[in-house]
Amino acid sequence: MDLENLASEAINGDRRALEKLASALKDDIYRLAMRMLSIPSEAEDATQDILIKIVTHLSQFRGESTFRTWAWTIATRHLINAPKGTRESFVTFELVEDMIHAGDGLVPLSSEGPETALLAEEVKIGCTGAMLIALDRKDRIAYVLSEIFGLDGAEAAKVLGITPATFRKRLQRSRSRLSTFLMASCGLADPANPCRCRRQIAVNVERGTIDPNHLLFANHPVAGAGQPIASPKERMREVEEIERAAEIFRSHPHYAAPASVMQGIRSLITSGRYRMFDA
């Protein structure tokens, strides 16, 4: 059943349809929150807050757009206007550049075992996630919607409540900033650069950016687990510089929202209060 029909049934009081609707949206919203906040616990809290807003304002859906577009409008508005997350409060391109240069002179870990591979993946996701966080929020979300989630310009502009021209300016600005930074610093974007994820493990551990005993990203549950994710090198063949930069960000895991997100929504739905949310 499509989202519009689920929304219609939920508005008419079908609790199971309401839960299915929230479940159908949760992973996309969580992935969006992860790109905007970069910390799983903060993305989880934001996802639950967004789903509650969607559930409690369901009667306001008028069918003037697709339901997904309407839901994403709520999600993006929440993420743009929310207080700064932990990483947002201090991460800058200058900080990322300093971290990269600190590791450039180090010898990469010689071990090729699974532990080293996990740590290197943690570095890659954490570092590129920090690059996204370093962008201005409005530029960041324009980039994420277009380059990572694949929304076309007209739909993304509608989601953000801005003109297509304004969206194009934000997208161009974010593409230029990320592409320039990656091509100048990242070994994944340009093999001529000295930076390698395995070389950056030691400096990240030393500075507390990653905790080998508590990996935030590399061990995160994913949707469609068991399906291998193409490496950036495999996915970047024969693409232009801007597309090459985007492919690095697309190579992040296809995160699945934690089960606790739906536990909170189910509690709300079964509380007996959801019929009053139209008020």
3-state SS, residue 222:
strand
pLDDT score of 243 more than 90: no
Which pair of tokens denotes residue 263?
A: 């536990």
Distance CA 249, CA 125 (A): 8
pLDDT-based confidence at residue 253 (cuts at 50, 70, 90)? confident
What are the pLDDT digits (tens) for 142-183? 999 999 999 999 999 999 999 999 999 999 999 999 999 999
The pLDDT assigned to 230 comes to 43
Q: What is the pTM of this model?
A: 0.86
What are the pLDDT digits (tens) for 61-109? 988 889 999 999 999 999 999 999 999 999 999 999 999 999 887 776 6
The pLDDT assigned to 1 comes to 66
- For residue 5, count other CB atoms closer than 10 A to its CB: 12
Q: Which of 185, 181, 170 is nearest to 134 (CA)?
A: 181
- Evaluate whether 204 touches 116 at the Cβ level (below 8 Å): no
pLDDT-based confidence at residue 229 (cuts at 50, 70, 90)? very low
Q: Which CATH number goes with the domain that contains 247?
A: 1.20.140.160
The pLDDT assigned to 267 comes to 84
How many distinct structural domains can be found in the chain? 1
Residues 6+ apart with CB under 8 A from 11: 58, 59, 61
Element (H, E) at 141: helix 137-143
Give the Å distances, CA to CA, from 152 to 158, 164, 222.
Answer: 10, 10, 25
What value does the mean pLDDT take over residues 212-221?
91
- Evaluate whether 167 touches 70 at the Cβ level (below 8 Å): no
DSSP 22-91: HHHHHHHHHHHHHHHH--HHHHHHHHHHHHHHHHHTGGG--SSS-HHHHHHHHHHHHHHHSPP-TTTTT-
More confident call, 38 vs 227: 38
Supply the range of the domain harboring residue 117. 3-278
Mean pLDDT of the chain: 87
Residues 6+ apart with CB under 8 A from 239: 247
